[in-house]
Amino acid sequence: MAKEDMKISKDKFAPAILDASLGEAIGKPSLNFWQDSWLRIRKNKAALVSIIVMLLVIILAFVGPLISGHGTNEQDLKRTNLPAKIPVLESVSWLPFDGTMVRNDGTVVDVYEQKNIDEYFWFGTDSLGRDLFTRVAKGIQISLYIAFLAALLDMLIGVTYGAIAGYFGGRLDSMMQRVIEVISGIPNLVVVILMILVFKPGIMSITIALAITGWTTMARVVRAQVLKLKEQEYVLASRTLGNSHSKIIFKHLLPNLAGVIIINTMFTIPNAIFFEAFLSFIGLGLSSPLASLGTLIDDGFKTLRLYPHLMIFPAVFISIIMVCFNMIADGIRDALDPKMRD
Amino acid sequence: MARYIIKRFIYMLITLFVIASLTFFLMKLIPGTPFSTAGKLSPEQLQIMKENYGLDQPVAVQYAQYIVGLLKGDLGISFQFNNVPVTQLLLERIQPSLVLGFQAIFFGTIIGIVLGVISALKQNTWIDYSSTFIAVLGKSIPNFVFAGVMQYYIGVKLGWLPVLFWKGWDYTIMPTIALAMFPIAITARFMRTEMIDVLGSDYITLAKAKGASSFEVAFKHGLRNALIPVITVLGPLTVSLMTGSLVIEQIFAIPGIGEQFVKAITVNDYSVIMGTTLLFSFMFVVIILIVDILYGVIDPRIRLSGGKK
């Protein structure tokens, strides 16, 4: 029926220009790998939102301690266990930011009035009167620090190991593969716990423990890619021109692996954050007075019934960070992995 | 096939041996003694204590005794519980952990598969988006956070389910949900991709062309083929369950192996730590082996060979 209604005027048609030289013309500016990937990430709304939220969280982590006016370990027993109170938001009745607390018998008390405190503690205070906002901000800093350090070590060890195994091949490769096979057979939980038992618990031992167990996936992926890439003509050309092995690996092969390496690193980050929080939660991670999100959740958990805010705030932030990093990692994988392209 | 299984079995033994040795020597490096009253003991008394537990002998002898004991299934004696053998201690506590683990993986994978199939069939609708959202949350939110929040709101505030302990089936519900979140998330996402992949293949088009109903196409032709690769995620899931059991058992005060392990760490009970480590590793290695072999048996497209690639 649409056919009958539609009348297309003749002037909309014009003969095509048959010029062979124009057939090969490129209509739009060509994009390199990174520009193309950026276009893809921009189309992925979830990843984009996650990047923005993550930036905000990072800003909060570094600016927070400066604007709160309290130190991480500043104790004051006159203001212990205050609930959260934020200016402006305190007048919104359904938000828990009005400085009141519901007792177990159902009565509502304004703790700030009771203790005669005029100051606002945005996330409340803990059992020693320390400002929770400052501590959460500091905790995010530590979690991010551990995550990036673990990712970096993972990248260094995994990429080097994988590149060497893949590039040189032969007996060396099969030996190195056997080592990986044995190591990846050991559950990483066990390795991490043993490492932390032997070394003193702390940021460094957590990072080292994560690095020891985390690199095998990276090494496998890099090795497989190098095996494929080393047969390419440009490697042969480079070798014919007399370049050393290390130059070929680092100058020619690794830049071509950037996508795979970035994808793998991005998935290490949320893993490392989770493991740090997990270890701190079972009492093997950082210890007081250092505050990571894991230790804060562990502390808050002990008084969950009386002062739920002590656990809720760090828990919300670790969840936001984990969701964001997972979404960003997914987005980057979709953007960089040629197999995932639609 | 047989060659492959033998090869994998040998690897398994090597891995277990490496783990056992590693655990032993790392334990020897730990500072501090396992005797809680070490400070109050005179050197002579300490010497007697050490002789009692065989700690006065050279490390090499201790190592040999340890390995021989392992082969006999003897994991040593616990330092904290009046000389109870570790094997017995673990056996007493394995039941709650196993029940919890099986429930979590059973319900987790089934819910995950259902969610994944639904979102693959209703691609890019609100059903798909909300199931993806659940999956992202389940993958991202640490299970101890989830357990704590659930314990507070469902257990304490609403009072629907018991908050702590291990006294009946209703006590297992909350810990199971907390543990199952990760399996649900992983299987749902994996299942969705697999199912979309399968639904786009030629034999599905053929089945449709022959006039099979959409239900038949989805479940008889699609699901069966999409299910095979899901077996591969069982390995990582077991690991997550072991990690999870440590915190979940502690949070819900469940007398399982995980809770025992965390306690042993805080009191330096070497032999329990070593025993649990070995048990975890053993379960992990065996499950990985079973998964790999199952995968080869079920999917004829995968050819297993003992030779080099």
- In the predicted model, what is the mean pLDDT of residues A113-136? 71
Residue of chain B minimizing CA distance to A188: B239
Name the residue range of residue A217's domain.
38-73+135-336
Pick among 3.40.50.720, 1.25.40.10, 1.10.3720.10, 3.30.565.10: CATH of B95-268: 1.10.3720.10
**pLDDT confidence of residue A118:** 67
Please, which pLDDT band fits residue A91 given cuts at 50, 70 and 90? low
Domains of chain B by residue range: 95-268
Residue B259 tokens read as 């809770």
On whether the CB atoms of residues A211 and A154 are closer than 8 A, the answer is yes
3-class secondary structure, A137: helix
Instruction: State the CB neighbour count (10 A cutoff) for residue A256.
Output: 16
The tokens 């009141």 sit on which residue?
A100
The residues near B58 (Cβ < 8 Å, ≥ 6 apart) are: none
Q: Is the confidence metric ipTM above 0.85 for this complex?
A: no
- State the nearest Cα–Cα gap between B40 and chain A, in angstroms: 24
The tokens 């006590």 sit on which residue?
B171
- In the predicted model, what is the mean pLDDT of residues A174-188? 77
E strand map for chain A: 100-102, 108-110
Q: Measure CB to CB from residue B280 to each of A190, A315, A319 and give the nearest one.
A: A190
Could you tell me the mean pLDDT of each successive run of 10 residues in chain B, 309 residues long?
79 80 76 60 72 71 78 71 73 80 85 84 80 82 81 72 70 79 84 80 82 77 75 75 78 80 75 79 80 71 46
Task: Look at residue A265 and tell me if it is in a domain.
Answer: yes
Q: How far is CA B280 from CA A178, A206, B102, B277, B286, in A?
A: 22, 20, 15, 5, 10
Which residues on chain B are in Cβ contact (under 8 Å) with A315? 145, 148-149
Which segment, A87-91, A196-200, A338-342, B204-208, is predicted with the most confidence on average? B204-208
Task: Look at residue A80 and tell me if it is in a domain.
Answer: no
Task: Look at residue A234 and tell me if it is in a domain.
Answer: yes
- In the predicted model, what is the mean pLDDT of residues A158-170? 85
**Distance in angstroms (rounded) separating the CA atoms of residues A170 and B111:** 45
Q: What is the pTM of this model?
A: 0.77
Intra-chain end-to-end CA distance of chain A, in Å = 35
Residue A236 tokens read as 């042969």
**Distance in angstroms (rounded) separating the CA atoms of residues B50 and B270:** 13
What are the start-end ranges of the H helices in B252-307? 257-266, 270-298
State the DSSP code for B299.
-
**Distance in angstroms (rounded) separating the CA atoms of residues B187 and B185:** 6
Q: Are the Cβ atoms of B142 and A185 closer than 8 angstroms?
A: no
**Distance in angstroms (rounded) separating the CA atoms of residues B117 and B195:** 6
Please, which pLDDT band fits residue A92 given cuts at 50, 70 and 90? low
Which residues on chain A are in Cβ contact (under 8 Å) with B251? 301
Instruction: State the CB neighbour count (10 A cutoff) for residue A152.
Output: 14
**pLDDT confidence of residue B308:** 38
Please, which pLDDT band fits residue A108 given cuts at 50, 70 and 90? low
If one counts the domains in chain A, the total is 1
Which residues on chain B are in Cβ contact (under 8 Å) with A323? 136-137, 140-141
**pLDDT confidence of residue A72:** 67
**pLDDT confidence of residue A116:** 66
Q: Are the Cβ atoms of A301 and B277 closer than 8 angstroms?
A: no
- State the nearest Cα–Cα gap between B146 and chain A, in angstroms: 9
The residues near B31 (Cβ < 8 Å, ≥ 6 apart) are: none
State the helix-helix crossing angle for B234-251 and B257-266, rounded to 10 degrees: 70
Predicted confidence (pLDDT) at residue A125 exceeds the cutoff of 60 = yes
**pLDDT confidence of residue A5:** 67
Supply the CATH number for residue A145's domain.
1.10.3720.10
State the DSSP code for A89.
G
Q: Are the Cβ atoms of B11 and A182 closer than 8 angstroms?
A: yes
